Structure 1
Amino acid sequence: MWADNASKIDMLSYEPYAELIFELAISERMNPVTIGLLGNWGSGKSTILNLIENKINSCSDKGNIVSIFINAWMFEGYDDAKTALMEVILRAIEENKSISQNLGDKFKKLRDRVDWIRLGGLVLKGIPMMLSLSMGNPLPLLLESIKEIDWKDQKELEKLQNAILKMKDLIKESGQDNVVENIRKFREEFEQLINDSKIDNLIIIIDDLDRCNPDRIVETLEAIKLFLSVKKTTFIIAMDEDVIRYSIKRKYPHIEKDDIDISKDYLEKIIQLPIRIPELSDLEVKNYMLLLICEMFLKESKLDELLTILKEKNIFVKGEIINQNDILSILDLEQSEWDCFKNNMKREDFELQLDVFSRISDIIAATLKGNPRQAKRFLNTFYVRKKLSEIQKLNLDLSLLAKLMVIEYINIDLFRELYKWQLENDGYALALQEIEEEVLKEESGDNQHDNEIDQNSPWLKPIMKQWIKVEPTNLYNYDLRQYFYLAKESIKEKNISSLNLTADERKWVNELCSEELNDTFLEKKVEEFKVNNEIDHPKVVKGIIAKYQHDRRKKLRVLIFLYKHFPDLRKTLEEEIKKMKINEVTLPEITRIITLKNVNAEGYQAIKKHFLEEKKLSNELWEKIESSFNKSKKG
């Protein structure tokens, strides 16, 4: 099994990226600089950060370089991510005794300024804006004014009063009562602290920023720009660019000019050097899956030796496939089997699983969209089911288990259809026989279509034909019950988190489901969605359906607009609309459904008939609303 986090072993050949960023980070000429390591969720950003940190920690000949590794997710529970980040960095410097011993009370001074900035933000959140603009020292006025406000939460009132009183104490000590002045002074004193500490370069590595909520993301970026980006500092920030841009757009609404992209301009001001991790090719995903098998079985020293030899042969640079024979040849098991494997690992199991995944790697790699984390998750699920079968003494064919998992992964609807077929015939999916024979006959060069199979069937799409051809074939001869028993959580409908949506697809689900869009802007957004040919439209529609599984009224609004613009999805959308309960279909919902009359009269009549005849909705109510709607259209 593999942990769903950063790997400490470079099986993706990301070493060149780590080396490049490391050299940029320690370059005196580039300093100060903020480097953005950009890649989608699960693309391997954290692995590269680990490689960079290891390089920094081992570069004793490069001067006095200090690195701080920060997980941005830790700021989620704080009122203010800006000051939380400032505190973490100050604490890390202070805890490094080799550089902090001669800095005296400089840390206290900076911490006081951090407190001032945090408390100032807290106060301004709790009072009317007019008071925040008061000239001079506003604190006496604030203390009087908050007593006049009708506070529903007594704890919030006490929190605000304590903050103001603490600010009062800080003003006495510092002699400054201006937030802007404290920000300016913090930058100056922080830069002086770095100089006095004799640090040549303070490298701050920030991971998991894209897991935070949008406000935290923007606050962290602003803290870097406003407070911390001074001489002798380098920031390396790993981020999913789409998530960051979405957060910026939420914080700073769009300006109605086609030539202005606030999120793009904002990021360019923060990130001086963007480094993008490309998606893995299908071939690279196949190689990665085989290396993950090697990692599970081999001792670390033997795995390092294998990776070193593969790199020396330029396998990764040339884009060559790693096959089972290459791996076995390098390991030379006849001579060194005793020294290769981890405890309890067996050579026959190792070779069997290399063989299994070599055969399915083509098709599974094509569905993983270049994402190494998804490769880990697929393999983890495989090994969970393998272990469960062993505990329950089930006699599984691992090749068949892997093949069924592939269809479960690439097309959950066909997986469920296969489940129904085997359910009808005591475990044997006999309905698959005609489809398999059709595909295998085509493979042999016989293009005669003797079977009455719809050539537009999803079973005959290229990726499914490829799946059918993977050994073992003739699945209708196998009792599949125990395999579906192990996959019973997938037989039921899944929620949005289980749909394996890409970052772009998740973004479209969120944007199309935004309650901030009125109908005019929602229609415009659906039109933009329609012309985006890089998106899997049916998959996004599934995401919308899953997101609104418990709120069908909100879902209906989006489905109506999708129905108008996607003729090929209308049958699916009709079925979803029909799932609405009788108490959910009131005047606004009926009115929306009636708008489909002029889009697709046949589909509209089918929906209407369903609600009137099967759901027993009032025919009189429907006709009354339809009549009123028709009159308004004529008017």
Structure 2
Amino acid sequence: MYSTLYKNEKNLFTIKEVTESILKKEKLPSHFLLDEEAVNYDFLNRGFQVNDLAKSIRDINFNGRFTIGVIGEWGHGKTTLINNCIYKLNSPQYLLFQFNPWMYGSTSKLFEAFFNQMPNEVFPHNIRNLKLIKAIVELITKHDYKIFDTMGIDELNNYKRILSTNLTRSGKKIVIIIDNLDRLNSDTLISLLGMIYNYFDIKNMIFILSYDQSAVNKILKDNGIKEGYLDKIVQKEIDVSIIDYASLSDKYVMTMSALTEYYLSDVLDQSNLEYLVGEVKKFALYLAKQQLSLRDFKRYLNSMILPYLQESPRLLNTIDYYIISYIHMFYPNSYKTIYQRKEDLLDNKIDSFIDEFDKPCHP
């Protein structure tokens, strides 16, 4: 049987922790959830992209600022890829600066926080420079970034000179990571991009921007900025929007079959358990084929599957429940149709209303 894993009843785990614990016959808490936070290891076999990002930062020798865009939809692993890259760049040669712009309510507060958090080695935070920061923030927030003209302001030129001199003297590269650009409101996003474009054209300064490309382009378009503006800022893109099917299917099959066996091995006889696990594996392969993102997969398990497995009695056939709960969560209109016409479905009259389903539900 299963040995006790966590005596202090930890109840938030990564997928890797859960599957490894089950394989080791370790007992999980009676109730737990899967952690949705990004990890710092290569869970989806993206070693090539991680190495590409790290190599670009290491080898780049550009006269001015260099900007790399890590693009993809929400939940497709942008932050995890960046975390893996940071792990590889764990060297005194780099000054790593992670900035979360969506934490600040106004544009002026965002810029003030950005300048104040700049590594002290590059921009010493003495009183004179704090006054300079306030002057810069005031100038930037008054400027109309829809024009995107470079300003010849003494304070800003002075700021760039300080950064450039200190970076050259240190012999290091500063890597500035700005995650979740698409979470920003339009004014803040446009101002931030304009600031990067105009005031950080400095050698050995590298920006890594993480965003959903279609969402950012829509914000720019809605504000009258021509398509392709991002191309002026971003010199290299790494696209994580398509997840390798083999990696995804391996993780989904392993997770869903392990959880099913863990909870139902004492309930079903061996032949029924083997049949059920085989059906669960087929369904997990379907989820991978649909390119269900890893974050959506964990949300599905947390919201639908774990509550079902962790409670008894279980009133529905397990694989039926897995499928219907997937439709419930991701295709609510189809779920409503099924609920309203359940008698037809039970009488095997599915052909009479299949066209009322969302098309992805047909299989």
TM-score tier by shorter-chain length is: 0.7 to 0.9
Paired residue secondary structure (1:86): helix
Separation in structure 1 between the aligned mates of residue 285 and residue 356 of structure 2, nearest angstrom: 18
Identity of aligned residues (%): 17
Give the CA deviation at 1:228.
Answer: 2.6
**1:507-518 to 2 correspondences below 5 Å:** none
Separation in structure 1 between the aligned mates of residue 45 and residue 82 of structure 2, nearest angstrom: 14
Give the CA deviation at 1:271.
Answer: 0.7
Give the CA deviation at 1:285.
Answer: 3.8
Separation in structure 1 between the aligned mates of residue 344 and residue 221 of structure 2, nearest angstrom: 52
Equivalent pair of 2:334/2:358 in contact (CA under 8 Å): no
Equivalent pair of 2:67/2:236 in contact (CA under 8 Å): yes
1:508-546: per-residue Cα shift (whole Å, max 9, x none)?
xxxxxxxxxxxxxxxxxxxxxxxxxxxxxxxxxxxxxxx
Separation in structure 2 between the aligned mates of residue 463 and residue 221 of structure 1, nearest angstrom: 37
1:484-503: per-residue Cα shift (whole Å, max 9, x none)?
xxxxxxxxxxxxxxxxxxxx
Give the CA deviation at 1:249.
Answer: 2.4
Give the CA deviation at 1:35.
Answer: 0.7
Corresponding residue for residue 191 of structure 1: 164
1:58-100: per-residue Cα shift (whole Å, max 9, x none)?
xx4xx622211222222334535334322222xxx22xxxx57
1:152-194: per-residue Cα shift (whole Å, max 9, x none)?
xxxxxxxxxxxxxxxxxxxxxxxxxx98121111111111122
Ranked by relative contact order (alpha carbons within 8 Å, sequence separation 6 or more), the top structure is 2
Corresponding residue for residue 308 of structure 2: 386
**1:117-196 to 2 correspondences below 5 Å:** 117-120=136-139, 180-196=153-169
Equivalent pair of 2:160/2:199 in contact (CA under 8 Å): yes
Q: Which runs of 5+ in 2 are unaligned?
A: 1-32, 145-150, 267-272
Give the CA deviation at 1:348.
Answer: 3.6
CA 354–115 in structure 1, closer or farther in 2 if over 3 Å, else same: farther
Q: CA RMSD in A?
A: 3.5
More strand by share: 2
Paired residue secondary structure (1:8): coil
CA 236–464 in structure 1, closer or farther in 2 if over 3 Å, else same: closer
Corresponding residue for residue 227 of structure 2: 263
Q: Which runs of 5+ in 1 are unaligned?
A: 126-177, 255-261, 298-323, 329-344, 423-428, 437-452, 467-635
Give the CA deviation at 1:410.
Answer: 5.4
Corresponding residue for residue 227 of structure 1: 199
Tell me which of 442, 447, 458 is aligned to 2:355. Answer: 458
Tell me which of 111, 119, 133 is aligned to 1:82. Answer: 111
Q: TM-score, normalised by structure 2?
A: 0.74
**1:460-539 to 2 correspondences below 5 Å:** 464=361, 466=363
Equivalent pair of 1:356/1:402 in contact (CA under 8 Å): no
Corresponding residue for residue 280 of structure 1: 243
Separation in structure 1 between the aligned mates of residue 207 and residue 141 of structure 2, nearest angstrom: 27
1:43 aligns with 2:76: yes
Corresponding residue for residue 434 of structure 1: 348
- The structure with the largest alpha-carbon Rg is 1
1:399 aligns with 2:319: yes
Count of matched residue pairs? 317
Corresponding residue for residue 295 of structure 2: 373
More helix by share: 1
1:416 aligns with 2:332: no
Give the CA deviation at 1:399.
Answer: 1.7
Paired residue secondary structure (2:89): helix
**1:265-344 to 2 correspondences below 5 Å:** 266-280=229-243, 284-293=247-256
Give the CA deviation at 1:11.
Answer: 2.1
Corresponding residue for residue 215 of structure 1: 187
Corresponding residue for residue 26 of structure 2: none
Q: TM-score, normalised by structure 1?
A: 0.44
Paired residue secondary structure (1:35): strand
CA 234–398 in structure 1, closer or farther in 2 if over 3 Å, else same: same
AA paired with 1:113?
A: L
Corresponding residue for residue 360 of structure 1: 283
AA paired with 2:355?
A: P
Give the CA deviation at 1:383.
Answer: 3.0
Equivalent pair of 1:37/1:239 in contact (CA under 8 Å): yes
1:1-29: per-residue Cα shift (whole Å, max 9, x none)?
32233233322111211111001011142
Separation in structure 1 between the aligned mates of residue 338 and residue 359 of structure 2, nearest angstrom: 18
Separation in structure 2 between the aligned mates of residue 210 and residue 434 of structure 1, nearest angstrom: 45
Give the CA deviation at 1:245.
Answer: 1.4
Give the CA deviation at 1:413.
Answer: 2.9
Corresponding residue for residue 68 of structure 1: 97
Equivalent pair of 1:356/1:398 in contact (CA under 8 Å): no
Tell me which of 92, 112, 119 is aligned to 2:131. Answer: 112
CA 418–248 in structure 1, closer or farther in 2 if over 3 Å, else same: closer
CA 77–285 in structure 1, closer or farther in 2 if over 3 Å, else same: same
1:55 aligns with 2:88: yes
